[in-house]
Amino acid sequence: MADEFDVIVVGSGVTGGWAAKEFCEKGFKTLVLERGRHLDHPDPEYTDMLAPWEAENAGLMPESFEDAGRYSMLRKKGRLYKSQWARFFVDDKEYPYSFPKDRPFMWTRGYQLGGRSITWGRQSYRWSAKDFEANAKDGNGVPWPIGYDDLAPWYDYVEAFAGISGAKDDVETLPNGDFLKPWEMSCAEQFVSDNLKKNRPDRPMVIGRCANLSEVRPIHTELGRGPCQARNMCKQGCSFGAYFCSLSSTLPAAERTGNLTIVTDAIVTSVLYDDKKGRATGVSVVDRKTKCLRKYKAKVVFLCASALGSVQVMLNSRSDARPKGIANSSGLLGCYIMDHFGGAGATGVVPGFEDRYSFGRRPTGIYMPSFRHEKADDVDFVRGYGYQGGGSTRPRTSHTGKKVGIGAAVKEHVGKALPWRMRLIMYGEMLPYIDNRASLHPVKTDDWGMPLLHIDAYGRDNEKKMLVQAAKDAEDILIAGGCINVKSSHVNPENHIELGSRTHEMGGACMGSDPKNSVLNKWCQAHDVPNLFVTDGASMSSCSTQNPSLTYMALTARATDHAAKLLKEGVL
């Protein structure tokens, strides 16, 4: 006998948490199915209260992991392969996926209650009208069926609850909200930002907006969330609940309504479908621990398993009548896989301020939104890139562990204040390419019998050209900002442009107005299956340059509102 609910939400990360909160608050019996293990908030697995010297193996991961080929992609990500937080990331040996040998794709996942809402960088930027107009304007991908105005009230709504700090900046391409107080810029960042205002007013540098409570409002304290302590330990779990995370924010809000059921260790393998009614009826699950199969039924199914996770479930929801998966009459399920790409940037020294210092570890950097929405004569590509980075902390001399030199004199030289520095790294907007594609592996399956996801997606000509220009622009910006000793660099554009390093994977079930060329309508609702919604990154028709999670939150809240109305009207 299948358990029955109003709504099933697949996944408990950023988007699943939001769907659960919204449906529960509207009075619907909601089941959240999460493939990973249960976590509490705060959880004994959090390591944020450990001092650096208490970290397991001084932050190093056991060498035996590398020998056994474990965490191969996380290891490639470098800074993320640390003992303090690796537990919140997926080991690709345990949960493999597939890609062409010469075109690797870096899929960074978090399978646990809360998903990647524990480890994300919390950079939170609204997209602007130009982002939603881009596909229609230059003819790439599927035109967005919504514009900024459709999402604006939902941005307001999710920002208020999540708690986004930021300044009211006067930048058309970076719309403002009712932000919590902004973090302070360092003297070096302020200097560069002020110089840009004078010398390059078209390239503004603002303080990063992030989902860490720079101040608390009643909507936060009533859930037990406290103010951010400027520790920048967020990837280790935040015992203060000062970070926006499903565990500290949306799931407790859902829980207090009494309408929430969470089942962890429940791997959703497919959406159940009634061919006669043309409706989803629930989902199939394989238990992660026992490998037993189960079914759950509901009136509405929300897929929030992360862009590629949801696409995998949809492709696997196949039958003789639907060999290409559910909601795939267009044949475009799995197409248009995108991510922001990196590989270019610049650094420079900020002169002066030798007598100025910083205190605390600010959980955000600076932000430079894309200034290349309109194609300019000096370049032969469309769209653009933004930059993140900054110079929040006064650099110090480091030790000689990897260099020649030992003894007292060398030791005395460690930790001396150096000149302030600035760093910019690019976040490029890649185009939506129809044949950047995720599909099911024809033969390989994981330990639970689920076909592996095969991801074949990479940057092409437009992205190669951007890489080179992004390095030049970064250099110009730092020089215009008053930096000296500016050095820019970019990776060889002729090499494979690997996606996934920015962990902003999008697309695969794009929204559009025409069921023939898109999977979802403007409500993130499947054209073919009215009670199936996909509100994570899979729904995105283009990828912009801004970090996407805030937009996923707004889309999810808007879609739940729509679905709730349809449920109340008896349409679903």
536 binds, among other proteins, ligand FAD, ligand SF4, none (CB under 5 to 8 A by kind): ligand FAD
Number of residues that bind ligand SF4 (CB under 6 A): 14
Q: Which is nearer to ligand FAD, 61 or 379 (CB)?
A: 61
Q: Work out whether 403 is an interface residue with other proteins (CB under 8 A).
A: yes
Using alpha carbons, list the distances in angstroms from residue 98 to 65, 185, 286, 443.
Answer: 20, 42, 21, 11
Q: Which is nearer to other proteins, 185 or 283 (CB)?
A: 185
CA atoms within 13 A on the CB side of 178: 12
Q: Work out whether 58 is an interface residue with other proteins (CB under 8 A).
A: yes
Q: Work out whether 359 is an interface residue with other proteins (CB under 8 A).
A: yes
Burial of 529 (0-12, 13-18, 19+ CB in 10 A): buried
Segment interacting with other proteins (CB under 8 A) among 131-139, 173-181, 394-402, 468-476 = 394-402
List the alpha helices (DSSP H) in 201-348.
218-221, 250-255, 307-315
Identify the residue among 4, 184, 194, 476 touching other proteins (CB under 8 A). 184
Which residue number places its CB atom closest to ligand FAD?
13
Q: Work out whether 135 is an interface residue with ligand SF4 (CB under 6 A).
A: no
Reading across the β-sheet that carries 344-350, which strands appear in turn?
A: 206-207, 366-368, 385-390, 420-428, 344-350, 484-490
Q: Which is nearer to ligand SF4, 114 or 432 (CB)?
A: 114
Spatial CA neighbour of 450 closest among 266, 264, 268, 265: 268
Q: How far is the CB of 223 from ligand SF4 (least distance, A)?
A: 14
Q: Which of residues 123-142 bind ligand FAD (CB under 6 A)?
A: 123
Beta bridge partners of residue 345, listed in sequence order: 425, 489
Identify the residue among 99, 243, 302, 371 touching ligand SF4 (CB under 6 A). 243
Q: Work out whether 503 is an interface residue with ligand FAD (CB under 6 A).
A: yes
Alpha-carbon gap, residue 530 to 207, rounded angstroms: 41
Tally of CB atoms within 10 A around 494: 7
Alpha-carbon gap, residue 266 to 131, rounded angstroms: 36
Alpha-carbon gap, residue 180 to 122, rounded angstroms: 14
Burial of 87 (0-12, 13-18, 19+ CB in 10 A): middle
Q: How far is the CB of 43 from ligand SF4 (least distance, A)?
A: 13
**x/- site string to other proteins, residues 216 to 255, per CB under 8 A?**
-------------xxx------------------------
Residue 236 in contact with residue 85, Cβ under 8 Å?
A: yes
Q: How far is the CB of 137 from ligand SF4 (least distance, A)?
A: 38
Segment interacting with ligand FAD (CB under 6 A) among 32-40, 193-201, 342-350, 562-570 = 32-40
Q: Which is nearer to ligand SF4, 497 or 550 (CB)?
A: 550
Strand ranges, E, within 178-322? 206-207, 260-263, 266-274, 279-287, 293-303
Tokens of 249: 């924010």
Tally of CB atoms within 10 A around 396: 10
Q: Work out whether 10 is an interface residue with ligand FAD (CB under 6 A).
A: yes
Spatial CA neighbour of 127 closest among 93, 158, 87, 81: 158
Q: Which of residues 406-435 bind other proteins (CB under 8 A)?
A: 406-408, 411-412, 414
Segment interacting with ligand FAD (CB under 6 A) among 117-125, 145-153, 184-192, 256-264 = 117-125
Q: How far is the CB of 161 from ligand SF4 (least distance, A)?
A: 16
Which residues contact ligand FAD (rule: CB under 6 A)? 10-16, 33-36, 80, 108, 110-111, 115-117, 119-123, 267-268, 304-306, 309, 313, 503-504, 536-537, 547-549, 552
Give the residues lining the site for ligand SF4 (CB under 6 A). Answer: 48, 212, 228-234, 238, 240, 242-243, 363
